[in-house]
Amino acid sequence: MKYLFVLVVFLNLSCKSEKNDPVVLEVHDFAGIAPYLELKDSKTYVVNFWATWCAPCVKELPHFETLQANYKDSVEVILVSLDFPHQYETKLKPFIQKYNLKSKVVVLDDPDMNSWIPKVNPQWDGAIPVTIIYNESKRLFYSRTFTLRNWNWNLKHFFNNP
């Protein structure tokens, strides 16, 4: 497994006094992302594939953030960003800071898409956004954007009172 931690060493050193919590990105190839799709504990996991330049993806992020805030202990939202490496500093990190994302963000950088798209889900045709919600007993794959209404409705599969 190849872990590529992009550390903002320069930012870290120069701006330490101003920014108390600089964004550190966790960047992986697919082998590094795969474990997040197979976590086995009592939590419910929401894994969403997105990018800052994908308008429908950005539009549905608040639903995930709200869920994460409401279920701190029993839910973990994992936002898998497909932003391009040359935009980590200029787009992705500023986005995470601007919207103060509380959900965990990991970055997938693996251009051999045909090798990993079917591993995420055989039904996935490769268009983003997509979301997988799973826990010990259930696993659902959504190749669509959530509106607040269908998001809340779908959550009823996992929670009594989303």
d(CA 5, CA 99): 22
d(CA 88, CA 57): 17
Minimum distance of another protein from residue 104's CB (angstroms): 21
Does residue 149 touch another protein according to CB under 8 A? no
From 4, 69, 113, 140, residue interacting with another protein (rule: CB under 8 A): 113
For residues 81 and 92, is the Cβ–Cβ distance under 8 A? Answer: yes
Minimum distance of another protein from residue 39's CB (angstroms): 23
Closest to another protein by CB, 46 or 120: 120
**Which residue type is seen at 27?**
V
Is 66 exposed, middle or buried (CB count within 10 Å of its CB: 0-12, 13-18, 19+)? middle
Near another protein in 74-93, by CB under 8 A = 82, 84-85
Element (H, E) at 5: strand 3-6
Does residue 106 touch another protein according to CB under 8 A? no
Does residue 123 touch another protein according to CB under 8 A? yes
Minimum distance of another protein from residue 33's CB (angstroms): 13
